[in-house]
Amino acid sequence: MKVLVLGVDGYLGWPTAMDLANKGHEVWGIDNYLRRDLSRNLDIEPLYSIPNLSERVRIFKDVTNKEITIRIGDLVNWSFISSIFHEFKPDVIIHYAEQPSAPYSMLSREATILTLNNNIQVTANVIFAVRQYSPEAHIIKLGTMGEYGTPNIDIEEGWLEIVHNGRKGKFLFPRQAGSLYHTTKIMDTDLLWFYVRMWDMQVTDLMQGPVYGLLTDESMLDHRLLPIFNYDEVFGTVLNRFLVQAVIGYPLTVYGKGGQTRGYLNIKDTLNCVRLSMENPPGLGKLRIMNQLTETFTVNQLAEMVKAVGDTMGLNVRINHIENPRKEAEEHYYNPKHTGLLELGLEPNFLTNESIHKMLDTIIYYKDNIQKSSIFRNIKW
C-alpha cells in the first residue's frame, strides 16, 4: 500500500515508517522538524543526537535495502500538503503531525497558540487533502487516552450508548482533558467526526496511552536508527524521566500522591496497532475509535518498578513525592476498555523487569549526555 506518515521525524513516526517500509509498503514521510526546533530552543535536547531524516533514510537503506521517501515542509501550508497528495495519492495516511507535549502547550500563550494552530490546521488540511486527492484513503489518526481524562465511569472505546429519560442515543464518549494539548486532540476528534459524517471519509482514531521503549525490529539494526528519546519535563513521558533519574542518582520525582493512573504500551505494540488498523480498515463513512494501551499503572507503581530493577543493577534508586505542578486528580477511578485492538490480533508486550532493564542499559550507555537541568523545569498549570 501507499502509506503517508505525517510527523515522520517523531518518536513514533520514524519507527512506524521503518516498520511499514520493511514490510514492503511504499512509504513517504513528512516532517518540518518542529519538535527538534522546540527542543533546541528550550535547551532540552534528546538523550542522544538523531541524524536528520535524509541521513536516517540512507542508513535504513544501507541495512535493509528498503526505501523511504522524505519531504520536509509544514503541513499547515496548503500548497505544500496538496502537492504531496497530488503526487503520491496515498491509500493510508498515518497522522502523527502534532505538537505532542502537554507541558509545552501550557508553557506560555505563544506555545498554546502554536499548539492550537498547528494541531487543528494540520488535521483540517489532511481532511481537505484526502477529500480532494484520495477520497477513499484511510486516515489513521493518533489520538490520546488523555481526551477522556479520568472519569468516574468505565471508559469505553470512543462511543457510549446513553439512556436518558427513557430514550436512547449513541454518542462520542464524553471528553474532558487535562491539558491544552489534550484539548486540541478532542478538537481533532470533533473535526474528524464531523467530516466522516459529511463526506463519508474513513478514519481510525487510536486513543493512545503513553508509549515507552526504544527497540523495534528495525531500530535494533543500527543504533543510529533509534527513535528520539526525551527525558525532560516537556517532551519526556513519566517513565522516561524516572529511568533517567534512576541512572543519574536523582530521586524519582512523583507528582503529588502518585495515584494518577494511565494506560501504557510498548513501542512495538504501537507499531502493531497501527499496522493492524491499516490492514483492517473501517470502511467509508466510519469513524472507528480504539483505545491503544495494554495495561494500566499508577505513577507510584512505575516508580516502584524502576526502583526495583534499578536497585538490582546497583543504582540505589530513591523516590521523592513533590508538590504536583499540575491540576489533576491524584487518586481516581480508571477503567478503560481496550479490546478492539486485541480482537484485531494484537499480542501485547507487557512492561517487564527485563524491558525496564534494557531501557536502563541504553540510558547508561548514553549517561554522559544527560543534562540534569533538563529534568525539572517547573512548568505549572
From 51, 174, 283, 285, residue interacting with a copy of itself (rule: CB under 8 A) = 174
Instruction: Compute the least distance from the CB of residue 166 to a copy of itself, in Å.
Output: 9
Instruction: Compute the least distance from the CB of residue 198 to a copy of itself, in Å.
Output: 6
Instruction: Compute the least distance from the CB of residue 170 to a copy of itself, in Å.
Output: 9
From 113, 284, 308, 322, residue interacting with a copy of itself (rule: CB under 8 A) = 113
Does 198 bind a copy of itself (CB under 8 A)? Our answer is: yes
From 197, 223, 357, 372, residue interacting with a copy of itself (rule: CB under 8 A) = 197
Count of residues touching a copy of itself (by CB under 8 A): 42
Does 80 bind a copy of itself (CB under 8 A)? Our answer is: no
Q: Is 333 a catalytic residue?
A: no
Does 327 bind a copy of itself (CB under 8 A)? Our answer is: yes
Name which of 172 and 370 has its Cβ closer to a copy of itself. 172
Instruction: Compute the least distance from the CB of residue 263 to a copy of itself, in Å.
Output: 18
Q: Is 216 a catalytic residue?
A: no
Sole window of 96-104, 170-178, 212-220, 247-255 interacting with a copy of itself (rule: CB under 8 A): 170-178
The 3-state secondary structure of the chain reads CEEEEECCCCCCHHHHHHHHHHCCCEEEEEECCHHHHHHHHCCCCCCCCCCCHHHHHHHHHHHHCCCCEEEECCCCCHHHHHHHHHHHCCCEEEECCCCCCHHHHCCCHHHHHHHHHHHHHHHHHHHHHHHHHCCCCEEEEEEEHHHCCCCCCCECCCEEEEEECCEEEEEECCCCCCCHHHHHHHHHHHHHHHHHHHHCCEEEEEEECCEECCCCCCHHHCHHHCCCCCCCCCCCCHHHHHHHHHHHCCCEEEECCCCCEEEEEEHHHHHHHHHHHHHCCCCCCEEEEEEECCEEEEHHHHHHHHHHHHHHCCCCCCEEEECCCCCCCCCCCCCECCCHHHHHCCCCCCCCHHHHHHHHHHHHHCHHHCCHHHHCCCCCC
Please report, as ranges, the residues that interact with a copy of itself according to CB under 8 A. 78, 109, 112-113, 116-117, 120-121, 124, 128, 151-154, 156, 160, 162-165, 167-169, 171-172, 174-177, 180, 183, 186-187, 190-191, 193-194, 197-198, 327, 333, 381
> Which residues are the active-site residues?
144, 181, 185
